[in-house]
Amino acid sequence: MDFLEYSLLLLIILCFTYFITWYLRKRWTKTSAPIYWPFVGMLPAIILNFHHIHDYITKVLTETGGTFEFKGPIFANMDMLITCDPANIHHIFSKNFSNYPKGPEFRKIFDILGNGIFNVDSELWELHRKITMSIMSHAKFQTLLENNMWGIMDKRLRPILDVFAEQGNSFDLQDILQRLSFDSITKLLLDHDPRSLSIDVPHVPCEKAFTDAIDALLFRHIMPESCWKLQKWLQIGKEKKLSQAWEAFDEFLYPCISHKQEELMKKTAKDEDFTFLAAYIKMYNSWNKGDLGTLQKFLRDTFLNLMLAGRDSTSSALTWFFLFLAKHPLVETKIREEIQQKMHLKKDENLKFFNKEEMLKLVYLHGALCETLRFFPSLSLEHKVPLAHDILPSGHHVTPKTKMIIPFYTMGRMETIWGKDYLEFKPERWISEQGKIKHEPSFKFPAFNAGPRTCIGKNMAFTQLKIVAATIIHNYHIQLVEAQNISPTTSIIMLVKHGLKVRVVKRV
Ligand code: HEM
């Protein structure tokens, strides 16, 4: 036997042993926890279960009390601590926040985001956060946001849904909602309308690039770095798509930013006071603590981060929301009645523009949206690496080498957190006895993150979600096309794998 034959024999023996052990364990024990193998660690379990990774992690954590230590292949630097224990989440995200920055590991995985807010720590992050929050809390911002959203409802979404209703054809609701979010966030941030939401559903490369980019990013979390780096170098698989997405972002953002800069230069100081662009240019010019690259690159990073934050998070939440409504007609009826009552609408009267104050009255709708985000948090997981040794409240010891994965998806599906009825879709869960919106602590419901890095766009997101949801629910009825296989994507943002095929019936 030569070396090749020996290797082949060894491989066959390893595969056979793996199969027998896996079979016996499955037969005689109830545990889903991965088996530890010499050399490859627990990687085979991840590969075998990758197609339903969110549910697999949920199963493992449910059986292991909420925290699990994953061992990767030797020398692959892939060991991970996966936890959904609320006490650990509170500790990592809030109490001991300074020990858990995004760090260099995160930056490596999310290199496409450059020096944008998601990807940086310390002073640059603080400055990003300060500037972005100051714009989003500006008195003019809420008005701009509401006008922007209602404009898109009247001029784009409703005409398109009317045509679909008239034709009776099925369409992918997720695609429509993604286009809607992309157009609205681009208009809001850069005052540019890419018009991806129109009846001929044009192909806008930058709009689709988001889906390819986020698809590759989860893969980078769970594959050895050397594997995805090799793929990147060879330009194959998900890494090839990521590179193409990167190109599409650049081709869209650079000209758009330059155009806005030219416009900005023509404006007077008074006009300038309220634009994202002017604020970030000032921020760039005031920064003297490290290299941010050119101004153009910095602006590209900044806007790409905000577009990513605002595009997929809201469209993902809305897609799952309409799936739940289609499966819970009583909830849909209750929301419709609430809109009619609280907005004082007569039967068959068109939905009128409502503002932030009026929106607060839509408590049941708010509950249904939170319940959707409990089951399908737009961001499926968070990634942390401690700076220094620490002991978590669960007793687990972590070191600067421990990669930590916090699966938000799993947190919404733990009986220990949500009680016996945790698998039921119950908007009432979010309403207090006084009929007000019930607040749940973020370490229990981290859909908008927790601690100092809590989502800046939470209020903005609820404004958008409520305007779109109310417009569709009041004017139409969404019906699911039967016999479709609905499951979440294995990506960092929770989308419906093959889209959500629906038909729409006009009501008003
Ligand atoms: C349903 C909608 C949304 C959900 C579920 C959501 C969720 C989240 C989550 C989980 C994070 C933490 C991400 C991380 O640190 O890795 C985050 C951060 C952030 N979100 Fe949102 N988001 C939503 C909508 C928005 C919108 C519309 C905006 C507006 C542009 C926005 C802006 C941001 C920003 C700027 C951050 C970074 C905060 C920081 O690092 O300090 N989000 N969001």
Q: Summarize the confidence of residues 186-214 as an average pLDDT.
A: 91
Mean pLDDT for the stretch of residues 241-264: 93
Nearest CA to ligand 1 atom 39: 453
Say yes or no: CB of residue 310 within 6 Å of ligand 1. Answer: yes
Of 172-176, 353-357, 409-413, 498-502, which range is least confident? 353-357
> What is each CA distance from 182 to 196, 387, 413, in whole angstroms?
8, 36, 29
Instruction: Find out whether the beta carbon of 309 lies less than 6 Å from any atom of ligand 1.
Output: yes
Assigned domain for 21 exists: no
For the CA of 185, the closest atom of ligand 1 is 30
Confidence of residue 270 (pLDDT cuts 50, 70, 90): low
SS3 480: strand
- Give the phi and the psi of residue 159 in degrees, each rounded to 5: -55, -40
Whether the pLDDT of residue 273 is over 90: the answer is no
Please give the number of the atom of ligand 1 that sits closest to the Cα of 378.
Answer: 5
For residue 50, the model assigns a pLDDT of: 87
Measure the CA–CA gap between 427 and 367, rounded to whole angstroms.
4
Share of the chain above pLDDT 90, in %: 70
Q: What is the CATH number of the domain that holds 404?
A: 1.10.630.10
Q: Is the CB of 129 under 6 A from ligand 1?
A: yes
Please, where are the H alpha helices in 29-101?
43-49, 53-63, 86-90
Task: From residue 51, give the alpha-carbon distance in Å to each of 21, 218, 231, 373.
Answer: 22, 12, 20, 21
Stretch 67-79: mean pLDDT = 87
Is it the case that residue 29 has pLDDT exceeding 70?
no
CA-CA distance, 39 to 493, in Å (whole number)?
31
pLDDT at residue 93 above 80?
yes
62 has a pLDDT exceeding 90: yes
Calculate the average pLDDT of the chain. Answer: 91
Q: Tell me, using a 6 A CB cutoff, whether residue 410 lines ligand 1.
A: no
Which atom from ligand 1 is nearest to the alpha carbon of 460?
Answer: 27
**Residue range 404-433: mean pLDDT, rounded:** 97
Ligand 1, atom 1, lies closest to the CA of: 314
Encode pLDDT of 281-325 as tens digits.
999 999 988 888 999 999 999 999 999 998 899 999 999 999 999
User: What is the structure's pLDDT at 115?
Assistant: 95
d(C-alpha 245, C-alpha 386), whole Å: 30
12 part of a folded domain: no
Surface-to-core class of residue 98, CB atoms within 10 Å of its CB (0-12 exposed, 13-18 middle, 19+ buried): exposed
What pLDDT is attached to residue 139? Answer: 84
Ligand 1 pocket, residue 384 CB under 6 Å: no
- Is residue 442 included in any domain, yes or no? yes
Domain that holds residue 497: 34-506
Question: Residue 446 — very low, low, confident or very high, per pLDDT cuts 50/70/90?
Answer: very high
Q: Report the pLDDT averaged over residues 215-240.
A: 87
Compute CA distances 115 → 93, 234, 302, whole Å.
21, 26, 7
* Cα 367 to middle of ligand 1, angstroms: 19
Asked if pLDDT for residue 7 goes beyond 70, the answer is: yes
pLDDT of residue 348: 78
92 lines ligand 1 (CB under 6 A): no
Q: Is residue 29 part of a domain?
A: no
The predicted pLDDT at position 24 comes to: 66
Minimum mean pLDDT range among 109-123, 164-178, 339-353: 339-353
Amino acid letter, 258? S
**Residue nearest ligand 1's atom 6 by CA:** 448
Using the mean position of ligand 1's atoms as its centre, give its distance from the Cα of residue 454 in Å. Answer: 7
* pLDDT higher than 90, residue 406: yes
Q: Which of 8-17, 35-44, 419-428 has the highest mean pLDDT?
A: 419-428
Higher pLDDT, 75 or 40: 40
Domain count within the chain = 1
- Distance between CA 491 and CA 489 in Å, rounded? 5
pLDDT classification of 72: cutoffs 50, 70, 90: confident
Residue 227 annotated as part of some ligand binding site:
no
pLDDT above 70: percentage of residues in the chain = 96
- To test ligand 1's pocket by mutation, which of 313, 462, 495 has the most ligand atoms within 8 angstroms of CB? 313
Q: Does 11 map to a domain?
A: no
Contact between 114 and 308 under an 8 Å Cβ cutoff? The reply is no
**Does some domain include residue 19?**
no
Q: pLDDT-derived band of residue 78, with 50, 70 and 90 as boundaries?
A: confident
* Closest atom of ligand 1 relative to the 379 alpha carbon: 10
Does residue 448 line the site of ligand 1, with CB under 6 A?
yes
Radius of gyration (C-alpha) of the chain in whole angstroms: 24
Is position 149 within any domain? yes
Inside any domain, residue 13: no
Determine the longest span between alpha carbons in the chain, in angstroms. 86
Q: Is 113 in the pocket of ligand 1 (CB under 6 A)?
A: no
Q: Whose CA is nearest to atom 41 of ligand 1?
A: 453
Q: Which atom of ligand 1 is nearest to the CA of 316?
A: 1
Q: From the CB of 447, is ligand 1 less than 6 Å away?
A: yes
Whether 317 lines ligand 1, by a CB cut-off of 6 Å, is yes
For residue 358, report the distance from its CA to the centre of ligand 1, in Å. Answer: 24
**Tokens 């194959």, located at residue:** 236
How crowded is the C-beta side of 324, counted as CA atoms within 13 Å? 25
Q: Can you tell me which atom of ligand 1 is nearest the CA of 128?
A: 41
Mean pLDDT of 406-435: 97
CA of 455 to the centre of ligand 1 (A): 4
The finding on whether 314 has its CB within 6 A of some atom of ligand 1 is: yes
Predicted local confidence at residue 103, as pLDDT: 85
Residue 254 has pLDDT above 70, yes or no: yes
Distances in Å between the alpha carbon of 259 and those of 293, 305, 389, 467? 20, 19, 48, 30
